[in-house]
Structure 1
Amino acid sequence: MTNLEESLSRELLRTNRSGAYSCSTIVDCNTRKYHGLFVVPVPELDDENYVLLSSMDVTVIQHGAEFNLGLHKYQGNNYSPKGHKYIREFDCDKVPTTLYRVGGVLLKKEVVFQHHEDRLLIRYTLVDAHSATTVRFKPFLAFRSVRQFTHENGTASREYHLVDNGIKTRMYAGYPELYMQFSKKNEFVFSPDWYRGVEYPKEQERGYASNEDLYVPGYFEMNIKKGESIVFAASTSEIKSSGLKKLFDKEVDTRSPRDNFFHCLVNAAHQFHNSKGDGEDYLLAGYPWFKCRARDTFISLPGLTLSIGEQDYFEEVMKTAEKGLREFMEGKPLSVKIYEMEHPDVPLWAIWAVQQYAKTAGEAACMEKYGRLVADIVNFVIEGGHPNMRLDENGLVYSDGRHKAVTWMNSSVNGNPVVPRTGYIVEFNALWFNALKFAAKLAAIAGNEETATALETRAELCKSSFVSTFLNDYGYLFDYVDGNMMDWSVRPNMIFAVALDYSPLSQDQKKGVLDVCTRELLTPKGLRSLSPKSGGYNPMYVGSQIQRDYAYHQGTAWPWLGGFYMEACLKLYKRTRLSFIERQMVGYEDEMTLNCIGTIPELSDGNPPFRARGAMSFAMNVAEILRTLDLLEKYTYIK
């Protein structure tokens, strides 16, 4: 904790499961513009998150001597006030807990975000002290979008109003009021000032502007006795301060432990929950900058819910997503807040998610609940309803991705896709074959034999064309084929043709594809997005925005792809690959303490040491690792 080289790379994320979050490094030094003690959506402004309270410096005062426990980085690599040197212990098994020692004073800090409320709670406990002790709390305010910076200005309002054991303030019109309250009577000293030149090194690394000024309206001060606890609340609404201690205890009781790999992943899965008060439930694609995206939702959904026994939440999210899907298929404007619903493979991933539901709930129950949706999606494709996915006479689906990225490999530079995958795209057609076979099975369960037979006939045509179109003489699959243009790059998208429940490939063909993926794409952090032997290999996700966009899918490693790779291994080799897959999981377990504590980052460099990059927590990665653990358990106990 006292070694900043070690501690500043480790982040901590708390969420309220409704879109708000609190995030910083484990020493409470913000290193990204996305970091903040209290970050909330402000739907009245737009659909971004806003940093209201950037941080809170705590000062311990004894015998007139002040010891500031805060930490900020300023220009010129200067850190002040260096409060990290007082940290003696840090623990986040249940709730993040930091123990500070200042001489004979031991102060414990515990943090929780109230579920489904925009309210952060921090409990400060004076564990030990040999003389009278005073604590001072200094809030650093930003009132800005997570994508912007704030700077000293004359427009910011200095006005504040006293509320129950605290104050409320709002720097700019249009923002919500920020309520800062304590469980104990205190004195607020109005002493407005700007702290200038706060620097965020993660933004420097990413080639962005990295400096801002933060506004401090003053400070709260109160005495604290040995053994006493004081609870602080930051919120967008007032609360009765006398109930803060009980509320904190209640929130702690609902937290599950992070005492092993699986429990960390379950906690991470819950952080992606985004439940709105109007009955709509979503899954965020990741933190800190992702919204709810359609493809990510359907790929993540089974792992984040079914794999941990939460079928109810699967159904809630699917209810919201199905509404959006149907609105899209009917040509209506979307009433749900799910982005990128127009991408061609989204309906096919929706069928894959339903297929996973059938394994948990049973095929009959699945038919009853989602049979109509699956049938409607398949008919939507057959009838040419999708604006960018046509079904050709050879049984394959065709999409135009020359001028706009339409697959998960979606990085663009100057509006043009870095990887312009177009035509017959390998995973689109693997998903289409799988969808046809699954739809045929559901139709048969429903007693619609004629429909089932027609779908099976389409599937056979798709299978024949798939093999003749994608399988090359070297035993792997072209990434996409467009007329005479065949992409020979060795990419991980062919793994879906092996991993899906219904594959157009023979056993030998599957083994050939899996062997190539193992030799050229497998890393301890998932599958590379491009083989080192292919042209344009660029495995290091570093530098400016353009440099990173060019590297994003040109060799970086993605854990969620590793999930499908391991599923393919189990399907082909059954129990003989169990120990191999268990060893692969160790590479992910390391991530629990290396980057954002207890979760999995977006991607890693494709070359050793496979350093984590991108977003601090990524839903598809967490989901596929959970689904792999679930598969491992099933294959371990299979007879």
Structure 2
Amino acid sequence: MSYLKFDKNLMINLEQSLPKEMLRTNQAGAYHCTTIVDCNTRKQHGLLVVPIPEMGNSWHVMLSSLDETVYQHGAPFNLGLHRYSGGVMSPNGHKYIREFDCESVPRTTYRVGGVILTKEKIFISNENRILIRYTLVEAHSATTLRFRPVLAFREANELCIANDTLNTEIPEIDNGVSACLYKGYPRLFMQFSHKPSWTYDPHWYNGFEYVKDLERGVPYTEDLWVPGYFEVPIKKGESIIFSAGLSEVSPRSLARMYEKEIAQRTCRTSFFNCLKNAVKQCYLKDHESMYLLSGYPWGKTLARNTFMALPGATIAINHREDFEKIMSTALKALRNFMKTGELDRRIMGIDLPDNPLWAVWALQQYAKAYSREEASAKYLSDIRAILDYILANKHPLLHIDSDNGMVSTDGTVKPMSWMNASLGGRPIIPRTGYLVEFNALWYNALIFATRLTQGDEQAKYQAAADKMAEPFVHTFLNDYGYLYDYVNGTYADPSVRPNMAIAIGLDYSPLDRRQRKRILDIVTRELLTPKGLRTLSPKSFGYRPNYLGSPEDREIALHNGPSRPWLIGFYSDAYLKVFGMSGVSYIDRMLIGFEDEMTQGCIGSLSQLYDANPPYVGRGAISHVTNVAEVLRTLTTLKKFIMD
């Protein structure tokens, strides 16, 4: 099966091709993102988008695009494509595209008369540099390529307006030029493997429109600066490489650099390989530390997402060493918080109450993949420190009830769980008191600890689990056969939400098999979609299936309907626990809905969320690490289940 190839008929139909985006990263925070026809449709799109620590470590669009023009017999054929004010598309270079292939690297094939030209883009690992290789496959007469760099030099979530404060000096360097439009920015170096001619011809191009931002109800129009153009003659069979980076490079090294980098790529020729590539794009290496980004194009390093995604993002793709590196970085931040109360500079939300519980869950997956003995030798001290910290009631946002042993939190002022939508600083869903997944994770962590310990320590954790087992069932299980989402005093929230799927999917639960099955039936009937679990049942009050409208409308809808793919991991765990081998084929069929997404949205990846009703359109961040990771974990679990 050819996963990520698109032919001429799709490419020239902008209704079909513009919604499809592609993403490339360098695992050091920089990325390249645009549509498969190279038309930027959101402000975060760009050819080279990099983090700049000196400017708050947010992403900045340096090079927005590079417009190519083919010259033959003095006639220009512009391959670029932009949307301008009023929805005007120009210069319509997509009509020359014959194929787009993204199985190894993004590769576009153009045909202009007798000219066949290919364009391939690749990021250099752990370096803020993108390379584009142009190869003239066929030509019957002399051919020249002209390149116009479209510069932005702005924060990725902002827009640029024509101004006279920019630095217009464009000094020439070896086989190229450099630019630094505004004070505080690093210099951008643009070079070629072949010596080009450079013509300084500065202009503001006004009125670029980003249709995705228009749809989201946020500012969507900007002006960008083009300082001039390069021209390079090219012969049949010849390749020319363009480099854009934050440091100057030897032009003679570009071909070797390109070949070395492409040899390391895993072809995305299967569902598994697509997800593997997508999750590795969220790796972030910074000197000795290693992190997981929550996604693109506006993701951050979040503590909860790190612990939730880590098993699928590493163990499921046989990257044990990366699990240990990322976990080491995250545990260091968590230990420091438990010791001093200080927040981490890089990992956001380390103080949230469920992070210690998710950390133990991630370590449990490590133990299952390798062995309890190895997990105990490497991580028992951390597991012990986390559980004792909670048992001693030291966490400022998570409290042990001395009467029933359950954990509670106050989510009335600030969101405390993963359902963290808010308006005006206040939670839209005020989940407070006893949260079902918090207590399920707490029980699971305690029982897991008893499997790693002995003697008095083992008895301590077992007693804590026993103490809360019956109260858990009495508190959350209602007469209708499902679990309340949260219970605060005499109020039990009746909303049918997917957090109960987490509770029944964990390895250790106070619920028996019969109770799990009844809950699973309700989850299947009311929450399951081809794109994961709905965040709210259509039968519950406040159901909003579509993530559309103004920013306020979308925030209200965020956890009141739209489906989340990552929840399929816990749903699958629960299904296999209840039905055993007879559930394997069912879960396998469920995964087809995610495989279909490989050619939709951000190709080869999964969006942050999906509308809860057909046709289940992807919304939010175009690539989300927790979704990709948990689908990967499900694939691995299914395979292991069959083999065992």
Same fold? TM cut 0.5: yes
Shift of 1:567: 1.1
Find the aligned partners of 2:299 and 2:532 in 1 and give their Cα distance. 21
Partner of 2:295: 286
- 3-state DSSP of counterpart to 1:39: strand
Partner of 2:317: 308
Q: 1:454, CA displacement in angstroms? A: 1.4
Instruction: Check the 8 A contact 2:413/2:427 in 1, yes or no.
Output: yes
Structure 1 distance, partners of 2:427, 2:137, is 57
What does residue range 481-500 of structure 1 map to in structure 2 within 5 Å?
481-500=487-506
> Within 5 A, what are the aligned runs for 1:549-628?
549-628=555-634
SS in 1 for 2:54: coil
Q: Structure 1: which 5+ runs fail to align? A: none
Q: Secondary structure at the match of 1:50?
A: strand
Post-superposition Cα deviations, 1:595-615, rounded to whole Å, max 9, x if no partner, equal 101001111001111111111
Deviation at 1:361, TM superposition (A): 2.2
Q: Which digits, 9 at most, give the CA deviation of each residue in 1:193-252, with x for residues without a partner?
A: 000000000001100010000000000011110111000000000110111011111111
Match of 2:8 in 1: none
Checking the alignment, whether the CA contact within 8 Å between 1:497 and 1:504 is kept in structure 2 is: no
1:388 aligns with 2:397: yes
Q: CA deviation at 1:440?
A: 1.7
Mapped contact 2:344–2:350 kept (Cα < 8 A)? no
Shift of 1:530: 0.3
1:431 aligns with 2:437: no
Could you tell me which of 626, 629, 632 is aligned with 2:635?
629
Match of 1:323 among 316, 325, 332: 332
The question of 1:119 aligning with 2:129 is answered yes
CA contact (8 A) 2:343 2:351 kept: no
Q: What is the distance in 2 between the residues matched to 1:403 and 1:605?
A: 28
What is the rounded CA distance, in whole Å, between the counterparts of 2:292 and 2:377 in structure 1?
Answer: 24
**What percentage of residue pairs aligned between the two structures are identical?**
53
Verify: 1:31 aligned to 2:41, yes or no.
yes
**How far apart are the structure 1 equivalents of 2:377 and 2:569?**
29
Cα pair 1:272 1:284 within 8 Å, conserved: yes
47, 67, 71: which one pairs with 2:57? 47
2:5 maps to what in 1? none
Paired residues of 2:531 and 2:564 also in contact (CA < 8 A): yes
CA distance in 1, matches of 2:342, 2:294: 22
Shift of 1:360: 1.8
Corresponding letter in the other structure for 1:129: A
Name the amino acid aligned to 2:350. Answer: M
Q: How far apart are residue 293 of structure 1 and its match?
A: 0.3
Tell me the equivalent position of 1:269: 279
Q: CA deviation at 1:163?
A: 1.1
Question: For 2:410 and 2:538, how far apart are their aligned partners in 1?
Answer: 27
Q: Secondary structure at the match of 1:116?
A: coil
Q: Tell me, what secondary structure is at the counterpart of 2:86?
A: coil
- 1:382 and 1:581 map into 2 onto residues whose CA distance is 37
Which residue does the alignment assign to 1:88?
Answer: 98
Asked whether the equivalents of residues 231 and 245 of structure 1 are also in contact (C-alpha less than 8 Å), the reply is yes
Residue among 3, 18, 34 paired with 1:8: 18
**1:92 CA drift (Å):** 0.8
Counterpart pick for 2:88 among 59, 78, 84: 78
- Work out whether 1:458 is the aligned partner of 2:458: no
Which residue identity lines up with residue 582 of structure 1 in the other structure? D
Q: Which whole-Å CA distance do the structure 2 matches of 1:364 and 1:268 have between them?
A: 31
Which residue of structure 1 lines up, in the alignment, with residue 4 of structure 2? none
- The equivalent residue for 2:3 is none
The AA in structure 1 aligned to 2:523 is C
1:472 counterpart residue number: 478
Contact 1:21 1:40 in 2 (8 A): yes
Contact 1:73 1:80 survives alignment (8 Å): yes
Give the aligned length: 633
**What CA distance in whole angstroms lies between the structure 2 residues aligned with 1:81 and 1:459?**
66
AA partner of residue 626 (structure 1): L
Match of 1:173 among 183, 190, 212: 183
Q: Distance in 1 between matches of 2:596 and 2:270?
A: 12
Q: CA deviation at 1:462?
A: 1.1
Gaps of 5+ in 2: 1-10
Q: SS at the partner of 2:122? A: strand
Query: Is the Cα–Cα contact under 8 Å of residues 610 and 619 in structure 2 kept in the other structure?
Result: yes
Displacement, 1:637?
A: 1.7
The question of whether the paired residues in 2 share the 8 Å contact of 1:320 and 1:336 is answered with no
Tell me the residue number matched to 1:68. Answer: 78
Q: Any idea what SS the aligned residue of 2:375 has?
A: helix
Q: Deviations over 1:503-551 (max 9, x none)?
A: 1101111111111100100000000000000000001100110000010
Q: Name the SS of the counterpart of 2:410 in structure 1.
A: coil
What are the superposed Cα offsets for residues 302-329 of structure 1, whole Å, 9 maximum, x if unpaired? 0010011110000000110011001110
Q: SS where residue 340 of structure 2 aligns?
A: coil
Tell whether the 8 Å contact from 1:476 to 1:512 is kept in structure 2 after alignment: yes
Which residue of 90, 114, 120 corresponds with 1:104?
A: 114
- Any idea what SS the aligned residue of 1:258 has? coil
The answer for the alignment partner of 1:405 in structure 2 is 415
Q: CA deviation at 1:439?
A: 1.3
Cα distance, 1:29 vs structure 2: 0.2
Secondary structure of the residue aligned to 1:590 is: helix
Structure 2 Cα separation of the partners of residues 301 and 471 of structure 1: 30
1:154 to 164, 168, 174: 164
Q: Which residue of 2 aligns with 1:523?
A: 529
Q: Does the CA contact (< 8 Å) of 1:11 and 1:596 recur in 2?
A: yes
Given that 1:411 and 1:418 are in contact with CA atoms closer than 8 Å, whether structure 2 keeps it comes out as yes
| Structure 1 residue 347 corresponds to structure 2 residue 353 | no
**Separation in 2 of the partners of 1:118 and 1:527?**
37
SS of the equivalent of 2:256 reads helix
Name the amino acid aligned to 1:593: T
Q: For residues 360-382 of structure 1, give each alpha carbon's deviation from its aligned partner in whole angstroms, at most 9, with x where no partner exists.
A: 22101100110000000001111
Match of 2:549 among 536, 540, 543: 543
Q: 2:508 aligns with which of 502, 508, 518?
A: 502
In 2, the alpha carbon distance for the partners of 1:200 and 1:220 equals 26
Structure 2 Cα separation of the partners of residues 518 and 120 of structure 1: 45
1:478, 1:488 within 8 Å by CA — same for their partners in 2? Answer: yes
Name the SS for the 2:591 alignment partner. Answer: helix
Query: C-alpha displacement at 1:336, in angstroms?
Result: 4.8
Which AA in structure 2 matches 1:360? A
Q: 1:258 aligns with which of 254, 257, 268?
A: 268
Partner of 1:338: 347
CA distance in 2, matches of 1:580, 1:626: 17
What are the Cα deviations for residues 391-420 of structure 1, in whole angstroms up to 9, with x where unaligned? 002110010001110100001011111111
Distance 1:635 1:320 in 2: 31
Shift of 1:295: 0.4
Paired residue secondary structure (2:116): strand
Name the amino acid aligned to 2:227: P
Partners in 2 of 1:572 and 1:239 — Cα distance? 58
**Deviation per CA, 1:558-611, whole angstroms, max 9, x where unpaired?**
000111101110111111011111110000001000110100111100111111
1: distance between equivalents of 2:345 and 2:431?
28
Residue 40 of structure 1 deviates from its aligned partner by: 0.2
Look up the SS of the partner of 1:79 in the other structure.
strand
Structure 1 counterpart SS, 2:104: coil
